[in-house]
Structure 1
Amino acid sequence: MNIAWVLMKKELLESARNFKWVWMPIVFILFGLTEPLTAYYLPDILNSLGDLPEGAVIDIPPPSSEEVLMSTISQFNMLGVLVIVLGFMGIISGERKSGTASMVLVKPVSYNAYIYSKWAASLLLIWTSYILGMLSSWYYINLLFENIAPPAFFQSLAIYGMWLTFIMTLLLFFSSLVKASGIAAFSTITVSVVLSFISGALPDRLKWSPSQLSSYITEVLSGQGWSSNLTFTMVLTIMICLFMLVITPYLFKKKELT
């Protein structure tokens, strides 16, 4: 445990030196600010563009607070996931290719400590950035639109945060199997896109798929509450993440030894 903690602090320090603790929270905050500000000022933006017929009136009904928050989450789902994958795609594969992993993985450093310290440090940065982005969006939604109740907001934050945790765990898994960071990133994005596509095509049969998490946020924000299907989906996602975390050190060790 002490070794894992030392390695985790090393990962956090390295992220700070690479300015990840600066640019990643800023990126998520900008994502969080974009949707409420754009939705509120969209009519003014269109009017300022000009080139409209004389007498034309732009009448765009204002979106609801829930719709704006869902748009923010969609922004995270597209660009936020891409930022995470690109930011951490070499978390293990990069060190394997450079030989750093072989230098670190000597006694008394275990493969478990090496893998789990990287996972914990990366998730700490991701969740910090994600929470700051969501809080900035929530603040401006409450300022410019109707208020979103804190219970609904924090439940939504936890639900989508579990999807980001799944993405990071999946990326760690693929990064431990290959030496090319690009392959790890491509595999993670491909699996998430395919999983989302299949779940969207078969929503009833795959209602407990991790990619269905964002769809349950709409139910929470609309006041339908936390359903049993959402509970099962969260539990299944946690179990999949734990399974990947259990097998990742074993597969990584096998790759290193061969």
Structure 2
Amino acid sequence: MRNFTVLVKKEFIQMARDLKVFWLPLVFVFLGITQPIVSYYLPTILKMVGGGQGITIDPTMPVQQGAEVLASTLVSQFDQLGIMIIVISMMAVVQTDKANGMLAFILTRPVTVRSYISGKIVSNYILLAGSVSLGYLTSYLYVNYLFSNVAVINMIVALLFYLLWVLFMVSFTTMISTIFNSPAVIALLSIAFLFFSRIIVGLSVAIDFINPASMSNYALEMLMIGTVNTDVIWSVLMTFVMIGFTMIITNFWIAHKKYVTD
């Protein structure tokens, strides 16, 4: 436990040196603010840009509800730019240690592979979960001010679902960073897989059952209709299984020194 605590502190010190603890929260706050502001002022912007030529705004069009706008923050911002930001911020999480020899050095100390992996995932998840939550809560405040109020309990439950999806993104990117050595390859593979996982949500019940991206969809359901499918418990458990699976692969790869440092 002491080794784990030391590794977590080491990661936070490194993230502070890289200014990651500053720019990541700011980026997600910006993403959170963007959606409600753009949604609110879009009719005015279109009217000004169109100048009455070619652009017609239907005056009978219903005003967006707060829950719709908050849900679109997850879909249009966090599940697009947000995924890329998360991957880019984590693509070198293990790759850097391999490249500079730090991984080999750490494993010569009385440190278990499990502690090393857990320290990486927990420290990065705390920062990313805090950043996503801050951006989401900022969006929630703007939505309540500019649109209709969203029930607090729905907002919180939706956030918890989404943070489970974030945890999978963190563990998956850590696994890819362990297996591959090129940051570009790590970023490309991670982004492609996570985007693909998000795109195929809803295509099949069977796929959704084993797809961690379905957590994002449950978050949307909670915001839009206030309830979720009764199968959510099994989906949550399967998501934890998938997270555990990525950690097992990462542990195996490092423990058996499947990585190379050149």
Distance 1:145 1:257, change over 3 A: closer
Q: Identity percentage over the alignment?
A: 29
Alignment of 1:128-143 (within 5 A): 128-143=130-145
Distance 1:178 1:55, change over 3 A: closer
1:66 aligns with 2:67: yes
Report deviation, 1:55.
Answer: 11
Report deviation, 1:243.
Answer: 2.3
Alignment of 1:205-224 (within 5 A): 205-208=206-209, 209-224=211-226
RMSD, aligned α-carbons: 2.1
Secondary structure at the counterpart of residue 206 of structure 2: coil
My pick for the range that moved more, 11-20 or 37-46, is 37-46
Counterpart-to-counterpart distance in 2, 1:163 and 1:184: 19
The one of 79, 82, 88 equivalent to 2:81 is 79
| CA deviation vs aligned residue, 1:156-212 (integer Å, no higher than 9, x gap) | 101111111111110011111122222222221222233334444x32332312122
- Whether contact under 8 Å (2:158, 2:222) holds in the other structure is yes
Counterpart-to-counterpart distance in 2, 1:189 and 1:244: 16
Report deviation, 1:247.
Answer: 3.2
Alignment of 1:111-122 (within 5 A): 111-122=113-124
Secondary structure at the counterpart of residue 23 of structure 2: helix
- Whether contact under 8 Å (2:87, 2:173) holds in the other structure is yes
Partner of 1:8: 8
| CA deviation vs aligned residue, 1:21-40 (integer Å, no higher than 9, x gap) | 11000000000000111111
In structure 2, list runs of 5 or more residues that go unmatched: none
Report deviation, 1:54.
Answer: 10
TM-score, normalisation: structure 1: 0.92
Distance 1:239 1:57, change over 3 A: closer
Partner of 1:30: 30
Counterpart-to-counterpart distance in 1, 2:95 and 2:63: 46
- Whether contact under 8 Å (2:39, 2:69) holds in the other structure is yes
| CA deviation vs aligned residue, 1:131-170 (integer Å, no higher than 9, x gap) | 1001000001111111111110001101111111111110
Report deviation, 1:50.
Answer: 4.6
In structure 1, list runs of 5 or more residues that go unmatched: none
Residue-pair matches, total? 257
Counterpart-to-counterpart distance in 2, 1:55 and 1:232: 47
Report deviation, 1:224.
Answer: 4.6
Secondary structure at the counterpart of residue 52 of structure 2: coil
Counterpart-to-counterpart distance in 2, 1:257 and 1:216: 36
